[in-house]
């Protein structure tokens, strides 16, 4: 018993241990050519130069250091920070996960993009690149790739604050326009409409009971059984159509269904009346 308990405690300790990340297949590509390959946890031996006419693609795989299996962490991003002192050039970019391959991430830095240049405030020069990865039950990873040298060439006009105090001034409040609530009729009007829809049925059954209506003669012969059953089914279809229209069906689909039901109702109703007339004639002839 003690041995089983000790094994269970050891298993809990091993499984609850915080694991570490590991990177593999780290590639830096400038256009279609692989400019540099890096092995984790080494850094670039020399700065990687990227000119304005080039696009830098960073690609790597994330895996568990102990389990040696690929992972899809929740947060994988790249931080670019200018090495120059008193510089505002700082940017955070999120890596995109490959859809078909688990654990593969990539990022494209396009120096021709105006947004990218403006995000770094048009400051060319050396930037320290660092990868940050985080995931529950894993120790966060901060991996320095090395130095990137960005050459922007002609820098667009960027509106910089006149002073530090102006940069942190109060911004205008953003007022969100939410969807207004849907207008619905009053509850009393809805109840009156529901009562008016039910009222014809109440009147119908009341008249039937006062006139002592019965369906005995509707199934007097085999023909009347066939046509009478079809007529009653068509009437049930009308009731179902009324309920569906009241509940969810719109006008035009309801009209299409009504046109089909009307054909069946007219046909079976006509045949029921004809069969009833013939049955009445035969009944009178037998009496005579």
In 10 A of CB 218, how many CB atoms? 16
**146 and 126 Cβ atoms separated by less than 8 Å:** no
CA atoms of 230 and 273, how far apart (whole Å): 13
CA atoms of 77 and 89, how far apart (whole Å): 17
CB burial string 80-112: b at 16+ within 10 A, e below: bbbeeeeeebeeebebeeeeeeebbbebebebe
Q: How far is CA 112 from CA 1, 50, 160, 199, in A?
A: 69, 11, 20, 73
Q: Provide the pLDDT for residue 89.
A: 66
Each residue's pLDDT, cut to its tens digit, for the chain (288 residues) gives: 444 344 444 444 444 456 788 888 888 887 666 667 888 888 888 888 888 777 888 888 888 887 778 888 888 888 888 877 666 667 788 878 777 778 888 888 887 777 777 777 777 788 888 988 888 878 888 888 888 888 876 544 445 454 444 455 566 777 776 777 777 778 888 889 889 888 988 898 888 788 776 666 666 777 888 888 888 899 899 989 988 888 888 889 889 999 999 999 999 989 888 888 888 787 777 665
Residues facing 252 on adjacent strands: none
Tell which residue, 194, 79, 186, has the closest CA to residue 134.
79
Residue 105 DSSP SS3:
strand
Query: What φ, ψ does residue 214 adopt, rounded to 5°?
Result: -140, 170
Tell which residue, 142, 27, 138, 22, has the closest CA to residue 70.
22
Considering the entire predicted model, what is its pTM? 0.45
Q: List Cβ neighbours of 194 (8 Å cut-off, separation of 6 or more).
A: none
In 10 A of CB 56, how many CB atoms? 21
Tell which residue, 100, 102, 21, 25, has the closest CA to residue 57.
25
Region of 85 (left: φ > 0; alpha: ψ -120 to 50; beta: rest) is: beta
CA atoms of 39 and 42, how far apart (whole Å): 6
CA atoms of 262 and 270, how far apart (whole Å): 12
């Amino acid at each position: 018993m003690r041995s089983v308990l000790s094994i269970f405690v050891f298993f809990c300790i091993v499984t609850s241990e915080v694991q570490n990340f590991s990177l593999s297949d780290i590639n830096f590509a400038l256009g279609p050519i692989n400019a540099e390959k890096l092995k984790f946890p080494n850094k670039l031996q020399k700065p990687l130069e990227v000119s304005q006419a080039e696009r830098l693609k960073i690609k790597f795989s994330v895996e568990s250091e102990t389990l040696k299996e690929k992972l899809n962490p929740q947060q994988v991003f790249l931080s670019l920070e200018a090495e120059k002192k008193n510089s505002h050039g700082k940017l955070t970019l999120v890596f995109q996960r490959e859809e078909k391959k688990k654990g593969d991430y990539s990022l494209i830095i396009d120096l021709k993009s105006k947004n990218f240049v403006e995000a770094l405030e048009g400051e060319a020069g050396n930037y320290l690149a660092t990868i940050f990865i985080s995931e529950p039950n894993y120790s966060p990873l901060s991996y320095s790739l090395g130095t990137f040298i960005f050459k922007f060439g002609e820098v667009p006009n960027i509106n910089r604050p006149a002073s530090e105090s102006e940069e942190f001034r109060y911004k205008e409040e953003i007022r969100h326009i939410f969807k207004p609530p849907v207008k619905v009729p009053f509850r009393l009007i809805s109840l009156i409409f529901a009562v008016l829809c039910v009222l014809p049925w109440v009147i119908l059954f009341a008249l039937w009971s006062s006139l002592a209506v019965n369906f005995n003669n509707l199934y007097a012969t085999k023909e009347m059984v066939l046509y009478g059953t079809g007529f009653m089914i068509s009437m049930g279809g009308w009731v179902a159509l009324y309920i569906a229209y009241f509940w969810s069906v719109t006008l035009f689909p309801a009209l299409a269904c009504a046109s089909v039901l009307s054909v069946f109702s007219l046909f079976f109703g006509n045949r029921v009346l004809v069969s009833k007339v013939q049955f009445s004639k035969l009944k009178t002839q037998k009496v005579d």
